[in-house]
Structure 1
Amino acid sequence: MSKSRNRRPTIIDVAERAGVSKSTAARALAGSSNITDDTRDRVLKAASSVGYERNSLAVGMRSGRSGMLGLVIPDITNPFWAEVARGAQDKAAESGSSLLVFSSDWDAAKEAAHLRALRQARVDGAIINPVADNFDDLDRFGLPFLLIGSSAERFAETSSVGSDIAQAVQLGMDLLVSKGHPAPSLILGPKSRLARARFLRAVHEHCIARDVDPAILDVEDGEYTVEGGRIAMRRLLERDRVGHVCVFAANDMMAIGAMMAVREAGLRCPDDVSIIGFDGIPSGEFAWPGLTTIAKPGRDLGARAVEGLFDEIEHRPEHRRIYLPCRLIERGSLADLSVPTPKRVSGAGRG
C-alpha cells in the first residue's frame, strides 16, 4: 500500500530509507558522537530524500528547550524596529534558534496578549520593549527576558540594551550649533513616553551648557509617525516667527512628515526650514533633500539583545544597562547659516 502524500515523514521512514534502526537514525540526526561517519551520512541523505524535519516541540519537551525566542516591539512598520528585528533574527539563527516577532502597536492590551502567547509557545526567553513605562507584569512573565528601549531604564534590576540617547542628542545639537542653529524647535513624542523626557532633558542640558535658555525653544508633541510629524510641523509653521526655521525631530518618520508639511506650505527645505531627524532609517536617504539624521544602531541593538537574552537563559546575567553609541549622517536637509550668503547686486552679470 502506498503512503499518503499528505502524511508527514517520520523517523521510521528515514530509518527504512537508510537501512538502520529507528534509534540509530535518531542518534545520527541528534549529532551523537557514537555514530560512524558513513552511517551519519546515509541517515542525513535519507532524511533529505524523504523530506523529514525534526519535531522541535518533541525535542524541546525532552531537552527543556524549544529553540524559539520571542521579540515584542512597538511598531514593526517603523523601519528602525524592523532593523532591530533583523539583527535579533540573524543573531538567533547563528545559535540555531528561531525568533517569533510580535508588534504591540503601542497598545498595552496587545502587548499583554503577545506575552501570553509567548508563554504558551514555550519560548526559551523573550526580548521586550515595554509599551507602558509602568510595565508591571515582569515578575509574572515566568520566562527569562531582557528589555530594550527607553522604558527599560525604569527597571534597574533588569538586563537591558538601548541606544545612547544623551550621546545622540549631543551629536545633533553640536551639528546644529556649528551650522548656526543654536535654539531649534523640537518635534517630540507623546508626553506619556519616557523617550520624550530623555530627549528633551538632553536638549536642555546642551542649551544650559551653552548659556541658552531652554525656555525659548518651541516644542510640539505628536505620535511617532509620519502623520504625527506632519501635523506637528503644521502647528509650528502657524506660529509667529521671523527668519529661518530649524527643527530637531525625535524620529525620522516624524522628520519626513515635517518635510511634507513644509512643501505643503509652499516652503522649501533647507532654504526656508532646516530639519534633522533621529533613528537613521533607510527612507531618509531617499527623501528630497536627503534627511540629515542621528542613526541609532538598530541591527546591533537587536543582536546584542539576543546575546544578553542567552545570558539570562543560561543564568549568567550581569543585570546592567548597555548603551550603544549613535552616529551622525549628514545629508542636505540643514542650511548652513554660519556662512554668510552673498548678496546679489541688481543688474550684475548682464552685458
Structure 2
Amino acid sequence: MNGKRDRQPTIIDVARLSGVSKTTVARVLSGIGAVHAETRRRVEEAVQQSGYERNHLAFGLRTGRSRTLGLVIPDISNPFWADLARGAQDKAEAEKRSLLIFSSDWDAERERRHLQVLRQARVDGIILNPATDDSGLLRQTEAPVVVIGSSGERFPEYSSVRSDVAQGVRLALDHLIAAGHRHIGLVNGRDRRVARTRFVTEAQAHWQRHGFDASALPMDEGDYTVESGQAAMTRLVEREGGRMTAVFAANDMMAVGAILAARAAGLACPRDISIMGMDGVEAGSFTDPGLTTVDKPRYDMGVEATRLLLAEIDGAGDIVRTVLPCRVVERASVAAPRRSVSPARKKSA
C-alpha cells in the first residue's frame, strides 16, 4: 500500500497548494483575524482540493474554542421547535459553526444530562428553553447561555429571545371579533410555564377591553399535542352546547385536534364553528380546512438566538432581551358565525 497516498493531508499541504503561509491558512480555518477575500478563496479551494479535515479537538485545545454550539429544545417532534432549530442551524452553519441538538421532552433530569454532555464536549455556548427553574444548573455550564421562549423571563441574568405572545393573543381575538364572533372558547396549556399564564391573562384582559365579561370566557386545557386539543375541544363542546361559535387554541397542534373533535361532534369548520391556532407551523396549511393562525417567528428566533450567542462568545457583555412580533395568517378555518349570540357584558363596578 502506498504510504503517501494513504497519508492524511495536513495544513502544510493546504499552505503549499494555496501559496500562503501556515499561519494564514490557520487564520482562514479559525475565522480569527483579518484575511483578504482572494486569499481566503484560495485557501478554501486548497482545502477542497486536498481533502484536508481540521482536527477540531486539537484546535479547541489551542484556542479554547470548539466552534461548536449546543441547542436544547423541549420537543423536537413539535414543528414549532423543529423550525426554530432549523433557524439556529442555518445561522450556525453560515458562521462556520457546528450545532449539537438535544430534545429534553420537558424532562428536567434529561435536560440536566444533556447540559452535562454539552459541558463535557466543551461547546462554546448553549441555547435552550429550560425545563427547570434551576438557574444554578445553567451556571454550571460555564459557557455563555441564551434562553429562548417565554422562559427567558425566569432567567433575567441571561440574554433571551421570544415571540410576543401577548401581542399574538390580541391579534387572534381581534381577528375573531372582527369576523363577528362574540362567544369564543379557549384551549390553553395545563402547565405553569410563562407562556401559558400570559396566554390566559392577556386573553381575559383583551376580552375585557372589548367590553365583555372575562369570567364568561369558556376554557379548557391540553398539553400542546393534537390528542390533548381534541380532548379539550370535546369537553368544551359538551359544556357550551351551541353557544360557542369559535375556539382559539394556544398552539397549532391543539387547534388541529380541535378541528378533529368538531368533526367528530358533527360540527363543520368553519360553517358551524371557527377554529384558530397559534404558532404558524406548516402543518396548518394542510388541514381541512386550512388553519387560520397567529404566526410566531420561530425560524427567526433560532437565527437571532444564535446571533446573540455568538456575540456573547466574542465578548459582548450586555444582556439583550429580544421580543419578536407575531402576525395573523388567514386560511379557511375562520368565517363569520351563522348565528348571532349575545356575549356576556362586563359587569359594572
| Band the TM-score falls in, shorter-chain normalisation | 0.7 to 0.9
Whether the 8 Å CA contact 1:186–1:218 is kept in 2: the answer is: yes
What residue number does 2:10 align with? 11
Q: 1:161 aligns to what?
A: 161
CA distance in 1: counterparts of 2:317 and 2:108, whole angstroms: 27
Q: 1:33 to 1:123 in 2, by over 3 A?
A: closer
Q: Secondary structure at the match of 1:239?
A: helix
Query: Residues 291 and 19 (structure 1 numbering): CA distance in 2 closer, same or farther, change over 3 Å?
Result: closer
Q: What's the counterpart of residue 188 of structure 1?
A: 188
Shift of 1:317: 3.5
Query: Which amino acid in the other structure matches residue 137 of structure 1?
Result: L
Equivalent position of 1:58 in the other structure: 58
The Cα shift of 1:221 comes to 0.9
Aligned residue for 1:277, secondary structure, equals: strand
> Which residues in structure 2 correspond to 1:100-249 (within 5 Å)?
100-133=100-133, 136-249=136-249
Map 1:261-340 onto structure 2 (within 5 A). 261-337=261-337
Preserved contact between residue 183 and residue 243 of structure 2 (Cα < 8 Å): no
Would the alpha carbon gap of residues 133 and 332 (structure 1) be closer, same or farther in structure 2, given more than 3 Å must change? farther
Alpha-carbon distance between aligned partners in 2 of 1:234 and 1:331, rounded to the nearest angstrom: 23
2:19 maps to 1:28: no
- Distance change (3 Å), C-alpha of 1:328 and 1:15: closer
Q: Which residue of 2 aligns with 1:345?
A: none
Q: How far apart in 2 are the matches of 1:338 and 1:135?
A: 51
AA at the equivalent of 1:308? L
| 1:144 to 1:233, Cα distance in 2 relative to 1, 3 A | same
Name the amino acid aligned to 1:9: Q
RMSD of Structure 2 on Structure 1 (CA): 2.9
Structure 1 contact 72–102 (Cα < 8 Å) conserved: yes
**Could you tell which deviates more after superposition, 93-102 or 271-280?**
93-102
After TM superposition, give the deviation of residue 14 of structure 1 in Å. Answer: 3.1
Q: What letter matches 1:214 in structure 2?
A: A
1:344 matched to which residue of 2?
A: none
| Paired residues of 1:75 and 1:81 also in contact (CA < 8 A) | yes
Distance 1:272 1:13, change over 3 A: same
What's the counterpart of residue 347 of structure 1? none
1:169 is matched by which residue type in structure 2? V
Asked if the contact 1:11–1:26 (Cα under 8 Å) also holds between the matched residues in 2, the reply is no
Question: Cα offset for 1:244?
Answer: 4.4
TM-score (norm 1): 0.86
- Displacement of 1:134 in angstroms is 5.2
CA contact (8 A) 1:164 1:326 kept: yes
1:133 Cα offset (Å): 4.3
Deviation string 1:214-237 (CA, Å, 9 cap, x unpaired) is 111111111111111111111112
Instruction: Encode CA deviations 1:178-202: one digit per residue, 9 max, x unaligned.
Output: 1122341111112322211010011
Task: Output the amino acid matched with 2:299.
Answer: R
Q: Is the 8 A contact 1:277 1:292 kept in 2?
A: yes
Greater shift in the superposed pair: 120-129 or 307-316: 307-316
Match of 1:94 in 2: 94
- Quick one: structure 1 residues 317 and 307, their matched pair in 2 at CA, closer, same or farther if it must change by over 3 Å? farther
Query: What TM-score do the two structures reach when normalised by structure 2?
Result: 0.87
Is 1:256 equivalent to 2:253 in the alignment? no
Distance 2:147 2:113 in 1: 17
Tell me, in whole angstroms, the C-alpha distance in 2 between the residues paired with 1:223 and 1:8.
55
Q: For 1:245 and 1:30, how far apart are their aligned partners in 2?
A: 63
Q: Secondary structure at the match of 1:309?
A: helix
User: Post-superposition shift, 1:331?
Assistant: 0.9
* Structure 1 contact 13–50 (Cα < 8 Å) conserved: no
Partner Cα distance (1:12, 1:301) in 2: 37
Measured after TM superposition, the shift of residue 25 of structure 1 is: 5.0
How far is 1:242 from its partner? 2.8
Q: Which amino acid in the other structure matches residue 336 of structure 2?
A: D
1:105 aligned counterpart, secondary structure:
coil
Pick closer, same or farther for the CA change 1:247–1:96 going to 2, 3 Å: same
- Tell me the distance in 2 between the aligned counterparts of 1:170 and 1:195: 14
Q: Indicate conservation of the 8 Å contact 1:87/1:299, yes or no.
A: yes
The residue type paired with residue 61 of structure 1 is: L
Question: Do 2:127 and 2:306's aligned partners in 1 also have CA atoms closer than 8 Å?
Answer: yes
1:135 shift after superposition: 5.0
Q: Which segments of structure 1 move beyond 4 Å, counting only runs of 4 or more?
A: 15-20, 23-27, 32-35, 43-47, 133-136
Compared with structure 1, are the counterparts of its residues 266 and 242 closer, same or farther at alpha carbon in structure 2 (3 Å cutoff)? closer
Q: Which runs of 5+ in 2 are unaligned?
A: 341-349
